[in-house]
Amino acid sequence: METVIIRILETAAIAVSGFLIKKYVFLEPDMEAGKQRIFYGISFILIGIMFFAFGKDAATMAALLLIGLNICLGRKKHRLRGVLFMIPFPGIINGLLVPVLLVPPYLLSMSGQETMLWQFVVYGVLFLLLLLFYIKGKAWRDWFRENMQRRSLRTSEKCLLWVIGLLMLFFANEISVQTGTDRLAAGEDYGHRLASFIAISSVAAFIMTVTIIVLIMQGNKRSFYHEQVSGMQSGMITLMAEIVENRDDNTGGHIKRTAKYVEGIAAELKRQGVYGDILSDRYMRDMVVAAPLHDIGKIHIPDAVLNKPGRLTEEEFEIMKTHTTAGEELLVHAKTELGESGYLNMAVEMAAYHHEWWNGKGYPYGIKGEEIPLCARIMAVADVFDALTSKRCYKDAMPLEKAYAIIREESGTHFDPAVVEAFFAAEKKIEGVKESE
């Protein structure tokens, strides 16, 4: 009777820990709350039926298959891949449970009955911890549901869990062979039969499994908070850019449109394989975030110059040109205060160099060609196109065809020819942005 109860508890522990690992370690999403509760209920009924009809091994396999099915149903895409995720589960679960259940009896040379009592105690403690987690952990679970489930494991973390799962399965099987429940039922004193290297390996395996799981969970938590902080920094600085834009009566919506143009041009360059060594996914993300900051230096330009309804005098134009170096200085100072980040580094380059020309006749530094950072070359095309096609207090919006002609005409002089070609290849997306205004 005691052996049957132990097997029931073991099967229940495998099922419950499997569902918890699926959600909190592998970060696989649940179904809708109501459907998920129904799934849990049906799962444990099926596992119970399998246990009493076919035994513990069949019930354990059913639990693993149901975890795999739950992963598939919780996903919105790549659902069939969820089945593969049940492969490392047995090792991870056994790597956590088996050493706790079987190694202490070996170290203390317990008899079969004493070992059974120890296992009852372990399962009792696990049940109390689960109950405490259910009662007291609601705030943490709500936080997790709202925040962490938007994240997923990196490929390296998934591979690490697979390796650990397979290693733990090997160690757990070795221990189970030496200390199976059948031997406990026979009252066999197996304490001295368990090889020392298996005990040491299982302890090391347990510590390693727990350590890696904790590190992955903490890493995801740190990554989440890092994204939150980066998002706040980006939002605050973009708000500054919008404040600057609101001072300029001529450029309503300019920073949003140019950011979308930059995104479209960069995507087309990457599709064509141009500047592929530069246009990494990270570079492109940072460029889109940084784009709204390209004119932030205009905060230092006097209103009389910034909002002058007519053509600027030569002196006024020299003042206007200083918005590039002023923006560069502001963003370098922001980097000093907020710390290094990819989008701030790029924002500095876009603010400083988006008025440089491909032939070296631009400002403020007169650099040319590929001396100009790629992000600034892309912004130059986006910035000029938006200026040409937008209504200002001193001019009407230019027709698209005329603006296109100017952009193409200045390819190789004002603009990087490769960027211009990408601009025209993304013409439909560009026009879509204009039409959405």
| pLDDT tens per residue across span 362-376 | 999 999 999 999 999
Write the CB contacts of 304 (distance below 8 Å, at least 6 apart in sequence): none
107-156 pLDDT per residue, tens: 677 777 888 888 888 888 888 888 888 888 777 777 676 666 556 677 77
Domain residue limits, the chain:
2-225, 248-435
180: pLDDT strictly greater than 60 = no
pLDDT value at position 352? 96
pLDDT of 280 over the 50 cut: yes
CATH 1.25.40.10 fits 248-435, yes or no: no
Q: Is the pLDDT of residue 331 over 80?
A: yes
- The span from the first CA to the last CA of the chain, in angstroms, equals 75
**Residue type (1 letter), 81:** R
Residue 344's pLDDT is 85
Helix (H) or strand (E) holding 84: helix 81-84
Mean pLDDT of 255-264: 91
Compute the average pLDDT of residues 13-23: 83
Q: pLDDT-based confidence at 27, cuts 50/70/90?
A: confident
Question: Rounded to whole angstroms, how far apart are CA atoms 66 and 77?
Answer: 18
Whole-structure pTM value = 0.56
* Contact yes or no for 148/220 (Cβ under 8 A): yes
* pLDDT at residue 437, as a whole number: 61
- Give residue 189's pLDDT: 46
Short-list 31, 33, 63, 37, CA closest to 50? 63
